[in-house]
Amino acid sequence: MAIVYQENILTADDFVLLNQKMGLTDISIEQAKKSMGHNLYSIVAVSDDKIIGMGRLLGDGALFWYINDILVLTEHQGKGIGKNIVNKLIQYIKENSVPNTSASVFLFCAKDKEAFYEKLGFMDSCKSGGIGMFLDVNDCEYAKKSPAKKVALK
């Protein structure tokens, strides 16, 4: 099984399908299309002409970078694909940040995936004097079940 990594080919359909295959939140194709239009960069892992993993970069492209949606299909996990995806995202950041300046890279990892990211050099934001926070701004079924404060979309 040869794995090829391809840049900036992630479509809304692929994004929705990977989320569904992973049993994650229900994302509408409308949301996915709008979201894909705001990627700074994306990378997918392809095997046998099928996308088996992905990662996206969001942010301002200078000071703040956000690694999002690191997904690898369950049957392909443990083979270094997620690590390669994250490393390719970090390499993109290094190559595209303003030279001789610093930038911050953030991510919000799934529960029990902390060790994976720590091996790649990330640290718990609490250890750096801050704490990660989020606000779920949704009116979907997932948001209704979430313990986080919700803001209804109009």
Percent of the chain with pLDDT over 90: 63
Tokens of 34: 């709008």
Mean pLDDT of 28-39: 94
Q: Which pLDDT tens digit goes with each residue over 88-111? A: 999 999 999 999 999 989 988 888
pLDDT category of residue 154 using cuts at 50, 70 and 90: very low
Quickly name the fold that domain 4-122 has. Aminopeptidase (3.40.630)
pLDDT for 122 equals: 85
pLDDT category of residue 151 using cuts at 50, 70 and 90: very low
Q: How would you label 61-86 residue by residue, b for 16+ Cβ within 10 Å and e otherwise?
A: eeeebebbbbbbbeebeebebbebbb
Rounded Cα distance between 83 and 37, Å, is 25
pLDDT at 126 over 80: no
pLDDT category of residue 39 using cuts at 50, 70 and 90: very high
pLDDT for 141 equals: 54
The helix or strand, by DSSP H or E, that contains position 44, with its residue range, turns out to be strand 41-47
pTM tops 0.85:
no
pLDDT category of residue 153 using cuts at 50, 70 and 90: very low
pLDDT for 135 equals: 66
Q: Which pLDDT tens digit goes with each residue over 76-89? A: 999 999 999 999 99
CA-CA distances (angstroms) from residue 117 to 56, 120, 141? 15, 5, 29
Hey, where are the domains in the chain? 4-122, 123-154
Pairing of strands 64-72, 104-107: parallel
State CA 152 to chain mean position distance.
Answer: 24
Q: Among residues 70, 45, 46, which one has the least CA distance to residue 56?
A: 70
CA-CA distances (angstroms) from residue 46 to 20, 60, 72, 122? 17, 28, 11, 26
Determine the 3-state secondary structure of 98 from DSSP.
coil
pLDDT for 152 equals: 43
